[in-house]
């Protein structure tokens, strides 16, 4: 590799970085107009033997990824000639540059973690677990501010051979951020990435790494039984919602963490709606009895069958129900509840968001009406909660939202996009008169939503029968009574 | 034979000289369809051949066990003979071998099926099976029924140590085999570290140039991994991508044919559950 060399049409420019496993070169290609980087593994004698394997993983995984949260891949070469991966160059610095500013204000850290969680949700949906989430593998796009994950050399793709699985006796990764199950050789649980993000969020808000900087296997193994000090112990003003989120990410048992990155992103986007448990107030670590029980029962963990990342995500969807709790919608809302029950019963870790749009009138923006509007807002929240009560959902799985908007369909679509909603359930308006005048909200949502939409309509036959009866028209055969 | 007869066969063009492509200038770029363990299952093999044709297969490779277990051995042998006449490659499996050279290592059902099959085949068909090579090499690829270290001992590749033994017995980069009726994909790094993987149907996996690979194919005619759908694979010699595929076929008819021919009933029943 030298400046000026041409490899498969890529002209090599300056070397921009030399890491432990690879060098990065600025390159250009006549057919590609975005800035490009070429990553070249270090393969000479004496280099880290993991360099080749992690290059192979990146070479397999990166070309399969898409979306704003990863650098686009433009080609690769293998060891027969010149090993390289050519990818989009993301301008700016990694989050590592922020380490001097720690601890960050809570709000700034929340916003950063929320973007990373959204990026992880996108990655996990593509069947990939990153396995090296840390400040230096996170960048941000200049426009849209989406988090970009880089360095897939330690990643796991659920549909590709995992070359790292049996290659090394010790788990490969960055010690302070590594999830405890990784130390047991588990590489196919996406919740490992949520643990690493929890470490990052803890570090960014307290300035202290929850498990220190230990690099020894023995030191790392402590996290299999020893929980970190709650952040509130380090900073008295630590917000309870933030401690709730951080400690849930850092749960030793993956099943006690958030089920998906999307559900974590949801909580980070709505801190005021985070269900606070005893975690949020804790000032001390787990008692020694608990720690010992964990430590001496490590072998008792049942061997897990090979996980299926897609199935795990599918079991934990975010379901948004769009409701109008006002008078006259009871039949429709009952029908929506039946449909929502069916969806929830097949998805044991689903999360339900009940959404109502408070329609704003363009002309009503003055003080008195604003107060009225505020009252309406509270009324609607109460009504949504009332509607959802029969589900008996744990509060951490249920939120209610009143959106204020001029166009209800756009508001629902925006909510679904911003919150990574997997499934929208919405009722079809019964009155054809209103629908023809105002346009159908459900039709617009169904055609433009970024996810599955179920449009619920109570049987029209039933409604006709009811209408018929009230009109006194004997359309129901008397024999039925 | 419908679309199967129209399979486009790749012919090396002397006027074009060598075909050059990204570091593989000594290879002829080709899309291979690989089948193993057809086991006289006409319905399954027909469905796989049609699927391979639809995906643009240019060359067919049959990794052995054309007969045994299933009820249509004459049809299966005729089909493979015809494909070989048109340029396909076929190697001999243990069931093909047992037709002409009785074996004492088979279980009762397998032995019953071999004995029955022997009575169905013509002399020419038996000669064809007996004359199949035990392994074939092509470019950087080895085709064999069981494994490469001692192919006529018919050992199974069950785990990474079986795979390593086979891979160390050949200089070629990629070995394709069958025999165990369960798909698997093994690799060996330059430092002789092994990996194993159960492939996901329909997802292409690049067999990276820096390591050696052993691709164990699932069975066309008698899958045993719990999925009754027929199994085969496509391999692109340019991108080096292998795609394991599953093809649903008319299992009921294949099972009914086995029952009607008086073969052991379990051979019919197991098709329905893929065991």
Q: Which of B190, B195, B203 sits opposite A166 (nearest CB)?
A: B195
Q: Are the C-beta atoms of residues B65 and B99 closer than 8 Å to each other?
A: no
pLDDT of residue A172: 81
Question: Please, which pLDDT band fits residue A202 given cuts at 50, 70 and 90?
Answer: very high
Supply the pTM of this predicted model.
0.84
List the one residue out of A68, A67, A65 whose CA is nearest residue A76: A65
CA distance linking residue B142 with residue B177, whole number of Å:
8
pLDDT > 70 fraction of chain B, expressed in percent and rounded: 90
Question: Using one digit for the tens of pLDDT, what is the confidence trace for B64-73?
Answer: 999 999 999 9
Closest chain B residue to the Cα of A83, Cα to Cα: B210
User: Is the pLDDT reported for residue A465 higher than 70?
Assistant: no
Cβ count near A187 (within 10 Å): 20
List the one residue out of A71, A67, A198, A192 whose CA is nearest residue A125: A67
Closest chain B residue to the Cα of A49, Cα to Cα: B191
Q: How far is CA A190 from the centre of its chain?
A: 11
User: Is the pLDDT reported for residue A412 higher than 70?
Assistant: yes
pLDDT > 90 fraction of chain A, expressed in percent and rounded: 61
List the one residue out of A244, A249, A233 whose CA is nearest residue A283: A233
Q: What is the DSSP string of chain B?
A: -GGGGGPPPP---TTT-S---TT-TTSPP-EEEEE---TT-HHHHHHHHHHHHHTT--EEEE-S--SSSSS-HHHHHHHHHHHHHTT-EE---HHHHHHHS--SSS-HHHHHHHHHHHHHS-HHHHHHHHTS-SEEEETTEEEESS-SSSGGG-----SHHHHHHHHHT--SSEEEE-SSSS-EEEEE-TT--EEEE-PPTT-EEE--TTSEEEEEPPPSS---SS--SEEEEEEETTTTEEEEEEE---HHHHHHHHHHTT--HHHHHHHHHT-
Q: Quick check: A161 and B205 CB within 8 A?
A: yes
pLDDT of residue B16: 37
pLDDT of residue B24: 40
- SS3 state at A326: coil
CA distance linking residue A320 with residue A317, whole number of Å:
10
**Token pair for B273:** 């559950």
Q: Quick check: B187 and A79 CB within 8 A?
A: no
Question: Please, which pLDDT band fits residue B262 given cuts at 50, 70 and 90?
Answer: very high
Which residues in chain A are closer than 8 Å to B21, comparing Cβ atoms?
none
CA distance linking residue A357 with residue A377, whole number of Å:
10
Instruction: Considering only residues A459 and B262, tell me which one the structure prediction assigns the higher pLDDT.
Output: B262
List the one residue out of A423, A419, A412, A396 whose CA is nearest residue A317: A423
CB contact A196 to B (< 8 Å) = no
User: Is the pLDDT reported for residue A343 higher than 80?
Assistant: yes
Range from A33-42, A393-402, B151-160 carrying the lowest mean pLDDT: A393-402
ipTM over 0.95: no
pLDDT of residue A433: 56
Which residues in chain A are closer than 8 Å to B189, comparing Cβ atoms?
52-53, 163, 167
User: Is the pLDDT reported for residue B9 higher than 50?
Assistant: no
Query: In chain B, what are the domain boundaries?
Result: 26-135+200-211+222-273
Cβ count near A435 (within 10 Å): 15
User: Is the pLDDT reported for residue A461 higher than 80?
Assistant: no
pLDDT of residue B39: 97
Fold of A95-296: Transferase(Phosphotransferase); domain 1 (1.10.510)
Q: Which of B160, B195, B198 sits opposite A163 (nearest CB)?
A: B195
Question: Please, which pLDDT band fits residue A468 given cuts at 50, 70 and 90?
Answer: very low
Q: Are the C-beta atoms of residues A200 and A134 closer than 8 Å to each other?
A: yes
Which residues in chain A are closer than 8 Å to B208, comparing Cβ atoms?
56, 59-60, 78-79
CATH class of the region A317-465: alpha beta
Which of the following CATH numbers is that of domain A6-88: 3.30.200.20, 3.40.50.360, 3.60.15.10, 3.40.50.700?
Answer: 3.30.200.20
List the 253-312 stretch of A: residues with Cβ below 8 A of B: 306
Q: What is the mean pLDDT of chain B?
A: 89
Question: Using one digit for the tens of pLDDT, what is the confidence trace for B236-248?
Answer: 999 999 999 999 9
Range from A34-38, A116-120, A239-243, A427-431 carrying the lowest mean pLDDT: A427-431
**Token pair for A93:** 């610095």
Question: Please, which pLDDT band fits residue B10 given cuts at 50, 70 and 90?
Answer: very low
Return the DSSP state at A305. P
Around B271, how many Cα atoms within 13 Å sit in the side-chain half-sphere?
A: 30
Q: Are the C-beta atoms of residues A128 and A152 closer than 8 Å to each other?
A: yes
Cβ count near B271 (within 10 Å): 26
List the 60-119 stretch of A: residues with Cβ below 8 A of B: 60, 77-81, 83
Q: Are the C-beta atoms of residues B68 and B113 closer than 8 Å to each other?
A: yes
Q: Are the C-beta atoms of residues B233 and B63 closer than 8 Å to each other?
A: no
User: Is the pLDDT reported for residue A471 higher than 50?
Assistant: no
**Measuring CA to CA, how many Å separate A83 from each of A22, A52, A294?**
11, 9, 45
Q: What is the mean pLDDT of chain A?
A: 87
**Residues linked to residue A321 through DSSP beta bridges, in sequence order:** A354, A425
User: Is the pLDDT reported for residue B21 higher than 50?
Assistant: no
List the one residue out of A279, A307, A339 whose CA is nearest residue A162: A307
- B69 φ, ψ (degrees, to nearest 5): 75, -50
Question: Using one digit for the tens of pLDDT, what is the confidence trace for B181-236?
Answer: 999 999 998 888 899 999 999 999 999 998 999 999 999 999 999 999 999 999 99
Instruction: Considering only residues A170 and A314, tell me which one the structure prediction assigns the higher pLDDT.
Output: A314
Range from A218-232, B46-60, B61-75 carrying the lowest mean pLDDT: A218-232
Instruction: Considering only residues A296 and A25, tell me which one the structure prediction assigns the higher pLDDT.
Output: A25
Question: Using one digit for the tens of pLDDT, what is the confidence trace for A414-432?
Answer: 999 999 999 999 998 766 5
Average pLDDT of the residues in A383-403: 89
Residue with tokens 């018929």: A468
Q: Quick check: A60 and B200 CB within 8 A?
A: no
- SS3 state at A286: coil
Instruction: Considering only residues A337 and A377, tell me which one the structure prediction assigns the higher pLDDT.
Output: A337
CA distance linking residue A97 with residue A104, whole number of Å:
13
Range from A310-319, A437-446, A465-474, B51-60 carrying the lowest mean pLDDT: A465-474
Q: Which of B198, B200, B210 sits opposite A52 (nearest CB)?
A: B210
Instruction: Considering only residues A269 and B106, tell me which one the structure prediction assigns the higher pLDDT.
Output: A269
Instruction: Considering only residues A438 and B59, tell me which one the structure prediction assigns the higher pLDDT.
Output: B59
User: Is the pLDDT reported for residue A478 higher than 70?
Assistant: no
CB contact A163 to B (< 8 Å) = yes
Whether omega for the bond prior to residue A103 falls within 30 degrees of 0, making it cis, is yes
B226 to chain A nearest CA, in Å?
A: 16
Question: Please, which pLDDT band fits residue B106 given cuts at 50, 70 and 90?
Answer: confident
In this structure, chain B runs to a length of 275
**Token pair for B155:** 């050992």
Which of the following CATH numbers is that of domain B26-135+200-211+222-273: 3.30.365.10, 3.30.360.10, 1.20.1740.10, 3.60.21.10?
Answer: 3.60.21.10
In this structure, chain A runs to a length of 481
pLDDT of residue A7: 93
List the one residue out of A56, A68, A215, A198 whose CA is nearest residue A139: A68
Q: Are the C-beta atoms of residues A351 and A397 closer than 8 Å to each other?
A: yes
Please list the residue range(s) of chain A that carry CATH number 3.40.50.620.
Answer: 317-465
Average pLDDT of the residues in A44-62: 83
Q: Are the C-beta atoms of residues B229 and B51 closer than 8 Å to each other?
A: no
Q: Quick check: A60 and B208 CB within 8 A?
A: yes
CA distance linking residue B92 with residue B90, whole number of Å:
7
User: Is the pLDDT reported for residue B168 higher than 90?
Assistant: yes
Question: Using one digit for the tens of pLDDT, what is the confidence trace for B124-143?
Answer: 999 999 999 999 999 999 99
Question: Please, which pLDDT band fits residue A479 given cuts at 50, 70 and 90?
Answer: very low
**Residues linked to residue A455 through DSSP beta bridges, in sequence order:** A426
Closest chain B residue to the Cα of A82, Cα to Cα: B23
Average pLDDT of the residues in A142-150: 90
């Amino acid at each position: 590799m030298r400046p000026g060399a041409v490899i498969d049409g890529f002209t090599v420019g300056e070397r921009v970085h030399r890491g432990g496993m690879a060098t990065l070169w600025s390159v250009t290609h006549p057919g590609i107009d975005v800035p490009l980087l070429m990553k070249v593994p270090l393969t000479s004698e004496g280099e880290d033997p993991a360099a080749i394997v992690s290059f192979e993983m990146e070479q397999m995984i990166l070309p399969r990824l898409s979306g704003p949260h990863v650098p686009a891949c433009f080609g690769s070469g293998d060891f027969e000639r010149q090993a390289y991966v050519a990818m989009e160059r993301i301008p700016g610095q990694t989050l590592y540059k922020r380490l001097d500013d720690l601890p960050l204000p809570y709000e700034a850290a929340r916003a950063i973690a929320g973007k990373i969680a959204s990026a992880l949700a996108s990655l996990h949906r593509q069947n990939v677990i990153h396995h090296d989430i840390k400040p230096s593998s996170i960048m941000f796009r200049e426009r849209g501010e989406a988090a970009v994950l880089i360095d897939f050399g330690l990643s796991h793709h659920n549909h590709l051979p995992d070359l790292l699985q049996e290659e090394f006796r010790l788990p490969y990764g960055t010690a302070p951020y590594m999830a405890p199950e990784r130390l047991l050789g588990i590489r196919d649980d996406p919740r490992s990435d949520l643990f690493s993000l929890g470490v990052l969020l803890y570090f960014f808000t307290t300035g202290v790494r929850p498990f220190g900087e230990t690099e020894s296997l023995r030191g790392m193994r402590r996290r299999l039984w020893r929980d970190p000090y709650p952040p509130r112990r380090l900073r008295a003003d630590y917000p309870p919602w933030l401690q709730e989120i951080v400690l849930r990410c850092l749960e030793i048992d993956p099943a006690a963490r958030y089920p998906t990155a999307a559900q974590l992103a949801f909580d980070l986007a709505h801190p005021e709606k985070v269900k606070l448990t005893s975690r949020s107030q804790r000032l001390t670590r787990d008692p020694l009895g608990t720690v010992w029980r964990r430590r001496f029962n490590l072998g008792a963990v049942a061997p897990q069958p090979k996980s299926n990342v897609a199935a795990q995500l599918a079991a934990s969807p975010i379901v948004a129900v769009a409701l109008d709790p006002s008078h006259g919608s009871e039949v429709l809302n009952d029908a929506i509840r039946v449909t929502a029950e069916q969806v929830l019963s097949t998805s044991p870790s689903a999360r339900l968001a009940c959404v109502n749009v408070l329609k704003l009138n363009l002309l009503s923006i003055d003080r008195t009406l604003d107060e009225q509007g505020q009252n309406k807002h509270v009324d609607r929240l109460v009504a949504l909660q009332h509607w959802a009560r029969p589900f008996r959902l744990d509060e951490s799985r249920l939120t209610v939202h009143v959106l204020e908007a001029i166009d209800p369909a756009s508001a629902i679509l925006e909510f679904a996009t911003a919150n990574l909603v997997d499934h929208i359930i919405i009722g079809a308006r019964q009155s054809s008169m209103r629908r023809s005048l105002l346009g159908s909200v459900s039709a617009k949502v169904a055609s433009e939503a970024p996810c599955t939409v179920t449009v619920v309509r109570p049987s029209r036959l039933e409604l006709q029968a009811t209408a018929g009866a009230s009109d006194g028209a004997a359309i129901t055969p008397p024999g039925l009574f | 034979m419908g679309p199967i007869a129209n399979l486009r066969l790749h012919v090396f063009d002397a006027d074009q000289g060598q075909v050059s492509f990204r570091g593989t200038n000594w290879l002829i770029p080709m899309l291979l369809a690989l089948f193993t363990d057809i086991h006289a299952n006409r319905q399954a093999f027909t469905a796989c051949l049609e699927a391979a044709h639809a995906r643009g297969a240019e060359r067919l490779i049959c990794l052995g066990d054309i007969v045994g277990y299933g009820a249509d051995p004459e049809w299966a042998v005729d089909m493979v003979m015809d494909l070989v006449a048109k340029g396909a490659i076929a190697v001999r499996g243990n069931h093909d071998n047992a037709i002409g050279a009785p074996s004492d290592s088979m279980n009762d059902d397998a032995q019953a099926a071999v004995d029955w099959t022997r009575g169905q085949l013509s002399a020419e068909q038996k000669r064809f099976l007996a004359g199949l090579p035990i392994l074939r090499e092509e470019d950087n690829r080895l085709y064999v029924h069981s494994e490469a270290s001692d192919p006529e001992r018919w050992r199974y590749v069950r785990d990474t140590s079986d795979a390593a033994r086979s891979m160390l017995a050949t200089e070629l980069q990629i070995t394709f085999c069958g025999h165990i009726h369960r798909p698997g994909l093994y690799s060996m790094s330059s430092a002789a570290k092994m990996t194993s993987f159960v492939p996901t149907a329909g997802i292409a996996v690049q067999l990276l140039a820096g390591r050696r690979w052993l691709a164990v194919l699932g069975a066309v005619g008698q899958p045993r991994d719990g999925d009754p759908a027929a199994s085969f694979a496509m391999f692109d010699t340019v991108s080096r991508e292998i795609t394991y595929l599953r093809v649903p076929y008319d299992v009921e008819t294949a099972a009914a044919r086995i029952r009607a021919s008086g073969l052991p009933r379990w051979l019919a029943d197991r098709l329905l559950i893929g065991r």
